[in-house]
Amino acid sequence: MHADHKRVIDKYPRPQNKNEVRSFLGMISYFRQYVPLFAKRAENISKLVREKEIFRWEQEQEDAFQDLKSTLLSPPILKYPDFRQPFFLATDASGTGIGAALLQEREGKLMPISFSSRTLTDTERRYSTTKREALAVVWALRNYRYLVLGYDVTILTDHQPLSALFRDTLPDGQLGRWAVLCQEYNPKIKYIQGKLNVLADNLSRIDLDDNNPRNKSLYSLDDELFVDEIALVQPAEGRTAHIRAYPKPDIWDSSELIKLQKGDPELRKIVREIAQHRDFFLEGEVLHKVVEVMRCGVTHKNITVVIPPTLRVKAIKLCHHTIDEGHCGVDRTYIKVKSRFHLVGISNVKAEVQEVVQSCEACMSANGRPPRPVPLLTYPLPSVPWESTSMDLLGPLPVT
């Protein structure tokens, strides 16, 4: 058995009362159809919740508890990720911890790919509920960055205010910064009833505190293998979507990118010897690089588009000014550049980003401030049909 799986089994809290028994059974029952002889195997535990039964935890309960937990962390319940399918990330926060379950639909049912949880620091425990729930989302996205970035991911939360948080105008302070971090993943947020969020809810209550409150644990089928699989996976629809998303086809002509990549001697050499460069791969004809990034003390692999020197400024501008996000500052532009592109032949990316951002004409004319929205105008009401007509112009539109 994988060492991490063993650990989560050790750490899952033994129910201390009837309520905790109900909570555990609620989680495990979700998968009952995948556990052979479920009712029989759960019997010794489920009888504890009967009204007349006194809560008494003995060896037979302990055995059933360990048995059921181990089913949760092995096939057929735990699945390998399928990059052609959308991901779902169920997150939850309790007063003491945050938990997440990465899920995908299999035969009409959401099945787990990986579980993770961590305890909250003393400071985090004093956060408001919304802030703890938001922290769970940011943390979960970062945890699974190497799996979900560039793919379709939906956050499942039982905390309704979160959906507004990531949809409306950005809030101030830390919540706002977190919302910006999340934008990179472009997640959808879906509210689900608390009782449906049993996985994440239970995970947020696991005490993994090994003298290190920030101790983070991931449990999935051979994490190391997943990371390799990302670089080796055959081009699938999901992956193509990643490349189509950045650069976006409406503002970037990928044939231009391919032509200029091929025109660069250094990149041409890499393409010729692609088999020897494990970090590089071709998707269609576009050269990509898998780069390692450290986040929260964990190394993640990130897929980036390789940018030849001739396209460098254009790539930075693309990150600085996008249709949906407007003109961002140096730091945010830099983060976006680093996460999407691998700029060839340059050592100080930040300085280059700074130069491009600071010389942006639109930013300069707005004097560093975003332009004020134009006030809405009213027209006099016509008295008869066709008394007046209006038209508007839109464009330029992308060539399809």
Kindly state the smallest distance separating residue 341's Cβ from Zn ion, in Å. Answer: 18
> 12: which DSSP letter?
S
Kindly state the smallest distance separating residue 333's Cβ from Zn ion, in Å. Answer: 9
Kindly state whether residue 327 participates in binding Zn ion, applying the rule CB under 5 A: yes
Kindly state the smallest distance separating residue 328's Cβ from Zn ion, in Å. Answer: 8
Nearest-angstrom CA–CA distance, 246 and 223: 26
Identify which of residues 46 and 333 has a Cβ nearer to Zn ion in the complex: 333
Kindly state the smallest distance separating residue 334's Cβ from Zn ion, in Å. Answer: 14
Identify which of residues 30 and 334 has a Cβ nearer to Zn ion in the complex: 334
Q: Is 167 helix (H, G, I), strand (E, B) or coil?
A: coil
Residue 330 one-letter amino acid: V
Identify which of residues 255 and 365 has a Cβ nearer to Zn ion in the complex: 365
Kindly state the smallest distance separating residue 265's Cβ from Zn ion, in Å. Answer: 32
Identify which of residues 200 and 363 has a Cβ nearer to Zn ion in the complex: 363
Kindly state the smallest distance separating residue 362's Cβ from Zn ion, in Å. Answer: 5
Peptide bond into 247 cis (omega under 30): yes
Identify which of residues 368 and 395 has a Cβ nearer to Zn ion in the complex: 368
Q: Which two tokens stand for residue 398?
A: 């992308």
Nearest-angstrom CA–CA distance, 137 and 170: 16
Where helices occur in 90-128 by DSSP H, the ranges are: 122-125
Packing angle between helix 59-72 and helix 18-29, nearest 10 degrees?
Answer: 30
Kindly state the smallest distance separating residue 319's Cβ from Zn ion, in Å. Answer: 11
Identify which of residues 315 and 363 has a Cβ nearer to Zn ion in the complex: 363
Kindly state the smallest distance separating residue 172's Cβ from Zn ion, in Å. Answer: 22
Kindly state whether residue 5 participates in binding Zn ion, applying the rule CB under 5 A: no
Nearest-angstrom CA–CA distance, 56 and 62: 11
Identify which of residues 64 and 363 has a Cβ nearer to Zn ion in the complex: 363
Kindly state the smallest distance separating residue 246's Cβ from Zn ion, in Å. Answer: 18
Half-sphere exposure of residue 380: CA atoms within 13 angstroms, side-chain side: 5
Instruction: Report the residue count for the chain.
Output: 400
Q: Which segment (107-115, 208-216, 323-331, 382-390) binds Zn ion by CB under 5 A?
A: 323-331
Kindly state the smallest distance separating residue 332's Cβ from Zn ion, in Å. Answer: 11
Number of residues lying near Zn ion (CB under 5 A): 4
Q: What residues contact 396, with CB distance under 8 A and at least 6 apart?
A: none
Identify which of residues 327 and 338 has a Cβ nearer to Zn ion in the complex: 327
Q: What residues contact 379, with CB distance under 8 A and at least 6 apart?
A: 388, 390
Task: List the beta strands (DSSP E) in the chain.
Answer: 87-93, 97-106, 109-119, 153-157, 188-191, 216-220, 280-283, 286-295, 298-307, 321-322, 326-327, 341-343
Kindly state whether residue 332 participates in binding Zn ion, applying the rule CB under 5 A: no
Q: Which segment (44-52, 235-243, 325-333, 370-378) binds Zn ion by CB under 5 A?
A: 325-333
Q: Which segment (78-86, 136-144, 180-188, 322-330) binds Zn ion by CB under 5 A?
A: 322-330
What does the angle CA 323 – CA 326 – CA 330 come to, to the nearest 5 degrees? 130
Q: Mark 353-382 with x for binding to Zn ion (rule: CB under 5 A) and - for no binding.
A: -------x-xx-------------------
3-class DSSP string for 296-328: CCEEEEEEEEEECHHHHHHHHHHHHEECCCEEC
Binders of Zn ion among 157-196, rule CB under 5 A? none
Identify which of residues 155 and 319 has a Cβ nearer to Zn ion in the complex: 319
Nearest alpha-carbon partner for 79 in 55, 37, 115: 115
Identify which of residues 302 and 333 has a Cβ nearer to Zn ion in the complex: 333
> 3: which DSSP letter?
H
**Interface residues toward Zn ion, by CB under 5 A:** 327, 360, 362-363
